[in-house]
Amino acid sequence: MSVTAAEVGAIASRTIDPYRLDRTDDEELDELPFGVICLDAEGTILRYNAAEARMARLDRADVIGRSFFGEVAPCADTPEFRGRFDDYVAGRVDAPVLRFAYLFDFKFGAQDVEVELLGLGEGRYYLLINRRAFRPPREGLDPGFPAPRQRELVPAEQDVGALRDSREQRIVRAPLQLFEALLRTCDRVAPKTWEVFCREWGLQWGRRAVVDLEAECLERTGESLRERPMREVVERLVAYLEEQGWGGLTVDLASADAGGIVLELERSALVAATRRSDQRRCHLLAGMLAAVFSHLAARRLHVEEVCCAGTGHARCEMLVVGMTRRDTVGALAREGTDIPTILDRLAGPPDGRPTS
Partner 1 sequence: MAGPALAAPALKGCSDRDARRPAGELLARVPWERRRPDPERMTAEQFLSVLPG
**Chain residues in the site for partner 1 (CB under 8 A):** 1-7, 17-19, 32-34, 95-97, 114, 116, 118, 128, 130-133, 214, 218, 222-231, 233-234, 253, 256-257, 259-261, 293, 296-299, 301, 320-325, 346, 349-351, 355-356
Other Cβ atoms within 10 Å of 210 Cβ, number: 23
Q: Give the nearer residue to partner 1 in terms of CB position, either 170 or 228.
A: 228
Q: Give the nearer residue to partner 1 in terms of CB position, either 181 or 256.
A: 256
Q: Give the nearer residue to partner 1 in terms of CB position, either 42 or 223.
A: 223
Put the strands of the sheet holding 125-135 in their side by side order.
45-48, 35-39, 125-135, 109-119, 97-106
Question: What DSSP state is assigned to residue 22?
Answer: G
Q: Give the nearer residue to partner 1 in terms of CB position, either 21 or 285.
A: 21
CB of residue 253 to partner 1, shortest distance in Å: 4
CA–CA separation, 205 and 172 (whole Å): 15
End-to-end CA distance of the chain: 38
CB of residue 275 to partner 1, shortest distance in Å: 34
Q: Give the nearer residue to partner 1 in terms of CB position, either 108 or 134.
A: 134
Other Cβ atoms within 10 Å of 248 Cβ, number: 13
CB of residue 248 to partner 1, shortest distance in Å: 19
CB of residue 51 to partner 1, shortest distance in Å: 9
Residue 291: closest CA among 354, 214, 350, 188? 214
Q: Give the nearer residue to partner 1 in terms of CB position, either 166 or 356.
A: 356
CB of residue 23 to partner 1, shortest distance in Å: 14
Q: Give the nearer residue to partner 1 in terms of CB position, either 59 or 214.
A: 214
CB of residue 40 to partner 1, shortest distance in Å: 21
Contact 303, 263 (CB under 8 A): yes
Q: Give the nearer residue to partner 1 in terms of CB position, either 291 or 296.
A: 296
Output the CA–CA distances (angstroms, integers) from residue 75 to 23, 34, 109, 301, 332, in the order listed: 29, 19, 12, 41, 56
The DSSP secondary structure of 75-130, one letter per residue, reads GG-SIIIIIHHHHHHTT--SSSEEEEEEEEEETTEEEEEEEEEEE-STT-EEEEEE
CB of residue 231 to partner 1, shortest distance in Å: 4
Question: What DSSP state is assigned to residue 304?
Answer: E
Question: What DSSP state is assigned to residue 136?
Answer: P
CB of residue 202 to partner 1, shortest distance in Å: 19
Burial class (CB in 10 A: 0-12, 13-18, 19+), 278: exposed
SS3 (DSSP) at 251: strand
